[in-house]
Structure 1
Amino acid sequence: MTDDKRHLDTTEHAAKTPDTEQPWSELGLKEDEYDRIREILGRRPTGAELAMYSVMWSEHCSYKSSKVHLKQFGEKAPESDAMLVGIGENAGVVDVGQGYAVTFKVESHNHPSYIEPYQGAATGIGGIVRDILAMGARPVAVMDPLRFGAADHPDTRRVLPGVVAGIGGYGNCLGLPNIGGEVVFDPCYQGNPLVNALCVGVMKHEDIHLAKASGVGNKVILYGARTGGDGIGGVSVLASETFDAEGPAKRPAVQVGDPFQEKLLIECTLEIFREKLVAGIQDLGGAGLSCATSELASAGSGGMRVELDTVPLRDNTLSPEEILMSESQERMCAVVEPDKVDRFLEICEKWDVIATVIGEVTDGDRLEIYWHGEQIVDVPPRSVAHDGPVYQRPYARPEWQDALQADDAAKLPRPATPEELREQVLRLVASPNQASKEWITDQYDRYVLGNTVLAMPEDGGVIRIDDNTNLGVAVATDGNGRYAKLDPYTGAQLALAESYRNVAATGAKPLAVTDCLNFGSPEDPAAMWQFAEATRGLADACRQLGTPVTGGNVSLYNQTGDLAIHPTPVVGVLGVIDDVTRRTPMAFAEEGQLLYLLGDTREELGGSAWSQVIHDHLGGLPPEVDLERERLLAEILISASRDGMIDAAHDLSDGGLIQAVTESCLRGGKGARLVVPDGIDPFVFLFSESQGRAVVSVPRSEEVRFNDMCGARGLPATRIGVVDGDTIELQGQFSLPLAELREAHEATLPALFA
Structure 2
Amino acid sequence: MTLDTVKHAAETPDVKLPWAELGLKEDEYERVREILGRRPTGAELAMYSVMWSEHCSYKSSKIHLKQFGEKVPENDAMLVGIGENAGVVDVGQGYAVTFKVESHNHPSYVEPYQGAATGVGGIVRDIIAMGARPVAVVDPLRMGDAQHPDTKRVLPGVVAGIGGYGNCLGLPNIGGELVFDACYQGNPLVNAGAIGVMRHEDIHLAKASGPGNKVILYGARTGGDGIGGASILASETFDDTKPSKRPAVQVGDPFQEKLLIECTLEAFAEKLVVGIQDLGAAGLSCATSELASNGSGGMRVELDDVPLRDSTLTPEEILMSESQERMCAVVEPEKVERFLAICEKWDVIATVVGEVTDGDRLEIFWHGEQIVDVDPRTVAHDGPVYERPYARPSWQDALQADDAGKLARPANSAELREQVLKLVAAPNQAAKSWVTDQYDRFVQGNTVLAQPEDSGMIRVNEETGLGVAIATDGNGRFAKLDPYTGAQLALAESYRNVAASGAKPLAISDCLNFGSPEDPDVMWQFAEAIRGLADGCLELGTPVTGGNVSLYNQTGEAAIHPTPVVAVLGVIDDVARRTPIAFQEEGQLLYLLGETHEEFGGSAWSQVVHGHLGGLPPKVDLAREKLLAEILISASRDGMIDAAHDLSDGGLVQAVTESCLRGGKGARLVVPDGLDAFTFLFSESAGRAVVSVPRSEELRFTDMCGARGLPVTRIGVVDGDAIDVQGEFALPLSELRTAHEETIPGLFA
1:330 to 306, 325, 332: 325
Deviation track 1:548-578 (CA, whole Å, cap 9, x = no partner) reads 0000000000001110000000000000000
1:244-643 aligned at under 5 Å gives the runs: 244-643=239-638
Task: State the alpha-carbon separation in 2 of the partners of residues 410 and 237 from structure 1.
Answer: 44
Offset of residue 483 of structure 1? 0.1
Deviation track 1:455-494 (CA, whole Å, cap 9, x = no partner) reads 0000000000001100000000000000000000000000
Task: State the alpha-carbon separation in 2 of the partners of residues 625 and 279 from structure 1.
Answer: 46
Residue 177 of structure 1: aligned partner:
172
Task: State the alpha-carbon separation in 2 of the partners of residues 584 and 686 from structure 1.
Answer: 23
Deviation track 1:484-543 (CA, whole Å, cap 9, x = no partner) reads 000000000000000000000000000000000000000000000000000000000001
Residue 17 of structure 1: aligned partner:
12
SS at match of 1:369: strand
Residue 49 of structure 1: aligned partner:
44
Deviation track 1:679-726 (CA, whole Å, cap 9, x = no partner) reads 101100000000000000000000000010000000001000000010
SS at match of 2:14: coil
SS at match of 2:327: strand
Task: State the alpha-carbon separation in 1 of the partners of residues 539 and 49 from structure 2.
Answer: 39
SS at match of 2:742: helix
Residue 737 of structure 2: aligned partner:
742
Task: State the alpha-carbon separation in 2 of the partners of residues 85 and 729 from structure 1.
Answer: 50
Residue 662 of structure 1: aligned partner:
657
Residue 85 of structure 1: aligned partner:
80
Task: State the alpha-carbon separation in 2 of the partners of residues 249 and 523 from structure 1.
Answer: 22
Amino acid at match of 1:347: I
Residue 3 of structure 2: aligned partner:
8
Deviation track 1:46-81 (CA, whole Å, cap 9, x = no partner) reads 000000000000000000000000000000113400
Amino acid at match of 2:345: K
Task: State the alpha-carbon separation in 2 of the partners of residues 264 and 470 from structure 1.
Answer: 29
Residue 63 of structure 2: aligned partner:
68
SS at match of 1:230: coil
TM-score by length of 1: 0.99
TM-score by length of 2: 1.00
Task: State the alpha-carbon separation in 2 of the partners of residues 250 and 175 from structure 1.
Answer: 30
Offset of residue 279 of structure 1? 0.3
1:98 to 87, 93, 100: 93
1:155 to 143, 150, 158: 150
Residue 671 of structure 2: aligned partner:
676
Amino acid at match of 1:48: A
Amino acid at match of 2:528: E
Offset of residue 372 of structure 1? 1.3
Task: State the alpha-carbon separation in 1 of the partners of residues 140 and 73 from structure 2.
Answer: 26
Amino acid at match of 1:696: V
Deviation track 1:125-176 (CA, whole Å, cap 9, x = no partner) reads 0000000000000000000000000000000000000000000000000000
Offset of residue 7 of structure 1? 2.2
Please tell me the root mean square deviation across aligned C-alpha atoms, in Å. Answer: 0.4
Offset of residue 98 of structure 1? 0.3
Task: State the alpha-carbon separation in 2 of the partners of residues 276 and 224 from structure 1.
Answer: 19
Contact 1:513 / 1:550 at 8 angstroms: preserved in 2? yes
Amino acid at match of 1:390: V
Residue 693 of structure 2: aligned partner:
698
Contact 1:453 / 1:580 at 8 angstroms: preserved in 2? yes
Which ranges of structure 2 fall in alignment gaps of 5 or more residues?
Answer: none
Deviation track 1:83-121 (CA, whole Å, cap 9, x = no partner) reads 000000000000000000000000000000000000000
Task: State the alpha-carbon separation in 2 of the partners of residues 79 and 108 from structure 1.
Answer: 25
Deviation track 1:204-256 (CA, whole Å, cap 9, x = no partner) reads 00000000000000000000000000110000011000000002011100000
1:193 to 178, 184, 188: 188
Residue 3 of structure 1: aligned partner:
none
Contact 1:191 / 1:247 at 8 angstroms: preserved in 2? no
Amino acid at match of 1:81: D
Amino acid at match of 1:118: Y
SS at match of 1:605: coil
SS at match of 2:359: coil
2:224 is equivalent to residue 221 of structure 1: no
Task: State the alpha-carbon separation in 1 of the partners of residues 72 and 306 from structure 2.
Answer: 41
Which ranges of structure 1 fall in alignment gaps of 5 or more residues?
Answer: 1-5
Task: State the alpha-carbon separation in 1 of the partners of residues 440 and 195 from structure 2.
Answer: 16
SS at match of 1:339: helix
Task: State the alpha-carbon separation in 2 of the partners of residues 78 and 616 from structure 1.
Answer: 41
Amino acid at match of 1:242: T
Offset of residue 408 of structure 1? 0.1
Amino acid at match of 2:540: L
Task: State the alpha-carbon separation in 1 of the partners of residues 647 and 734 from structure 2.
Answer: 23
SS at match of 1:636: helix
Residue 104 of structure 2: aligned partner:
109
SS at match of 1:504: helix
Residue 231 of structure 2: aligned partner:
236
2:140 is equivalent to residue 129 of structure 1: no
SS at match of 1:168: helix
Amino acid at match of 1:486: L
Task: State the alpha-carbon separation in 1 of the partners of residues 221 and 530 from structure 2.
Answer: 39
SS at match of 1:7: coil
SS at match of 2:691: strand
Task: State the alpha-carbon separation in 1 of the partners of residues 95 and 72 from structure 2.
Answer: 23
Q: Which consecutive aligned stretches of 4+ in structure 1 deviate over 3 angstroms post-superposition?
A: none
Amino acid at match of 1:528: M
